[in-house]
Amino acid sequence: MEMNTRTLGHSNLEASVIGLGLMGMSELYGKADDRTSEHTIHRALELGITMLDTADCYGNGHNEELLGRALKGRREQAVLASKFAVGPNFQGVNGRPEYVKSAIDKSLARLGVDYIDLYYYHRIDPQVPIEETVGAMSELVKAGKVRYIGLSEASAELIRRAHAVHPITALQTEYSLWSREVEADILPTVNELGITFVAYSPLSRGFLSGTVRSFEDFEANDYRRVLPRFQGDNFHKNLELVDTVQEIAAQKNCTPSQLAIAWTIAQGALPIPGTKHISHLEENAGAVQVKLTPEDLQRIEAKMPEGAVQGERY
């Protein structure tokens, strides 16, 4: 299997069309094991999955340290993406210029690298004009600490304002068959501006994989236990949509996960499904071989139109 690549917006970064989200290797989705996670990262690179996505708040720094260990001797194989602004334990946001400059140095130290390929403003601080934050990020590019910059979960207006200060390479936001709010104005905006759209949670936190059939499948400390889409009647109604995904996947001779990931790619996005396990990683990578025809996409749309999912994201 050959992994396809694409050039990220306003850059010379050549990245795999499927990335790997690392958050679950540190927290939120049950137990994780560093050694297993490092092996999974190594396998990703072997498969040609070069886009590796972390953040300073994942595990309060643990995730960056984990990735740093995994990349020793392999740094040049990866397109390394990290983020700043969200506080410890996902509490608070900080977009002040002085914070930007301190956050990058801490991330570089944890990662054990000299530069980050793609540095995201993780969540937008409403108390700080985005021009000031992006201006500080631009200085990091000039200093050689960051090659390109991105935004995460930003509105169309803020994307335009940020892009006017410094070219934005990527916009990362949740996007999947179940989370399609970005189609109204976010996707048209980034497409117009030539910004790559990076889709996190393309499997809707594992629900679209078809492996979750009961609320009891989640470990006691699993973050999904508190999300609306996994609660009560919402859970059972959403399982019916999963059955639809499984049905169409069977017709395409692929797994539900591969179908869901292939769908995001067909929309022009670069999905970064997260996993701690090599078996799931290899399955996800196989999505590049799933070719969805216009007829396939129409059938999926008819079965799972926007708004079909029950419950809010958070």
Q: Residue 96: how many CB atoms within 10 A of its CB?
A: 15
State phi, psi for 79 to the nearest 5 degrees. Answer: -100, 105
Q: Are 271 and 19 in contact (CB under 8 A)?
A: yes
β-sheet bridge partners, residue 174: 200
Quick one: tokens of 147? Answer: 């090659």
User: How does DSSP assign 182-233, residue by residue?
Assistant: GGTTHHHHHHHHTPEEEEE-TTTTTGGGT---SGGGS-TT-GGGGSGGGSHH
Q: How far apart are CA 46 and CA 121, in angstroms?
A: 29
> For 32, what's the count of Cα atoms within 13 Å in the CB-facing half-sphere?
24
Closest CA to 20 of 50, 61, 47: 50
Q: How do 5-7 and 14-16 pair as beta strands?
A: antiparallel
CA angle 171, 177, 179 (to 5 degrees): 55
Sheet with strand 168-174: strands edge to edge: 20-21, 51-53, 79-84, 116-121, 146-152, 168-174, 196-200, 270-271
148 is catalytic: no
Q: Which of 58, 119, 148, 175 is catalytic?
A: 58
What positions carry a catalytic annotation? 58
